[in-house]
């Protein structure tokens, strides 16, 4: 069985393969960002609070559109991601837009253990927890890099939603315990969102992408995430659950509301699709 670092290196290869497809669906990101545009949803903005003048690190930042949006909201931003292709794309968009941001390619565990920098805000969102093989090392690293009175914010897909198939039928056990899930590779979910993840405008871009590099996920429950943060000495000040999804359409017949918010169709009972956590360092 592969060790954790080898698994993360394979995940890096899967992300490097898919990033060009993802990026191909965004129309003119530099112009959008240069004009002050923001890809952030109201939920993360509310949890983060006023970031004007704050030092902020965006963990597992992908291609950096949200990171650059945080800069437009006044933060002094750094983005970290394991994917070389994602960081290269983020750096290109930052350079072309003229928005100040620092992007670093690094394994998240290495960065959290080795950096000497501290931040007023640490932020992670939308599909990050499933890439973590060790929640406690992650949480301890976050506590280490948070400045006194700093705030960690997580917005994430609710694990309850992973119990259902695309037709809203209960199909799987609650994901928890760090169970490893092996899949064919990171897919082109940006294309599948039909514009929900491209506030700059949707471009057809790459068609029918198939990832040649498999990847490996880890399944964690909400309680495990919150407990890891609390065990690292952080104070949980907020835990929200949301009966909608932002941007993505994981289920059939989802209804799109203003602001790229997706909700269940009328015939389906509500279930939590996202959750948000705020944790502070005293």
Mean pLDDT of 40-45: 96
Task: Work out the percent of the chain whose per-residue pLDDT is above 90.
Answer: 98
Exposure string for 169-182, b = 16+ CB within 10 A, e = fewer? eeeeeebeeeeeee
Q: Quick check: 161 and 56 in contact, CB under 8 A?
A: no
What are the two backbone dihedrals, phi and then psi, of residue 239, each rounded to the nearest 5 degrees? -140, 110
Tens of pLDDT, residues 161-211: 999 999 999 999 999 999 999 999 999 999 999 889 999 999 999 999 999
Helix (H, G, I), strand (E, B) or coil at 92: helix
| Mean pLDDT (the chain, rounded) | 96
Domain ranges of the chain: 4-280
Tally of CB atoms within 10 A around 147:
15
Q: Flag whether pLDDT at 2 surpasses 80.
A: no
Tally of CB atoms within 10 A around 87:
22
Tens of pLDDT, residues 232-261: 999 999 999 999 999 999 999 999 999 999
Mean pLDDT of 112-128: 97
Model confidence at 282, in pLDDT bands (50, 70, 90)?
confident
What pLDDT score does 32 carry?
A: 97
Q: How far apart are CA 87 and CA 16, in angstroms?
A: 10
Mean pLDDT of 30-50: 97
* CATH classification code of 4-280: 3.40.50.150
Kindly report each contact of residues 174-179 with a partner whose C-beta sits within 8 Å and lies 24 or more positions away, as own/partner: 174/221, 175/219, 175/220, 175/221, 176/219, 176/220, 176/221, 176/223, 176/224, 177/219, 177/220, 177/221, 177/224, 178/133, 178/134, 178/135, 178/218, 178/219, 178/220, 178/224, 179/218, 179/219
What pLDDT score does 1 carry?
A: 54
DSSP state of 199: T
Three-point CA angle 87, 88, 91, nearest 5°: 85
């Amino acid at each position: 069985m592969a060790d954790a670092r080898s698994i993360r290196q394979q995940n890096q290869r899967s992300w490097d393969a898919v990033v060009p497809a993802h990026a191909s669906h965004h129309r003119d990101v530099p112009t959008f960002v240069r004009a002050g545009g923001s890809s952030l949803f109201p939920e993360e903005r509310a949890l983060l609070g006023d970031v004007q003048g704050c030092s902020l690190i965006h963990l597992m930042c992908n291609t950096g559109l949200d990171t650059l949006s945080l800069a437009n909201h006044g933060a002094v931003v750094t983005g970290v991601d394991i994917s070389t292709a994602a960081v290269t794309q983020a750096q290109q968009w930052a350079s072309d837009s003229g928005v100040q941001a620092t992007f670093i390619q690094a394994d998240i565990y290495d960065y959290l253990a080795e950096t000497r920098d501290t931040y007023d805000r640490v932020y992670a969102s939308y599909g990050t927890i499933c890439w973590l093989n060790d929640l406690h090392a992650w949480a301890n690293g976050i506590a280490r890099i948070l400045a006194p009175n700093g705030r960690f914010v997580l917005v994430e897909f609710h694990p309850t939603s992973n119990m259902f198939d695309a037709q809203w039928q209960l199909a799987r056990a609650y994901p928890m315990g760090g169970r490893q899930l092996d899949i064919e590779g990171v897919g082109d979910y940006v294309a599948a969102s039909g514009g929900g993840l491209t506030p700059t405008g949707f471009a057809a871009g790459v068609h029918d992408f198939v990832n040649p590099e498999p990847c490996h996920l880890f399944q964690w429950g909400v309680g495990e995430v919150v407990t890891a943060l609390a065990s690292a000495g952080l104070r949980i000040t907020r835990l929200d659950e949301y009966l909608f999804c932002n941007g993505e359409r994981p289920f059939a017949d989802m209804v799109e509301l203003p602001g790229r918010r997706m909700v269940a169709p009328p015939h389906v009972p509500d279930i939590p699709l996202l959750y948000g956590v705020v944790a502070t360092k005293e």
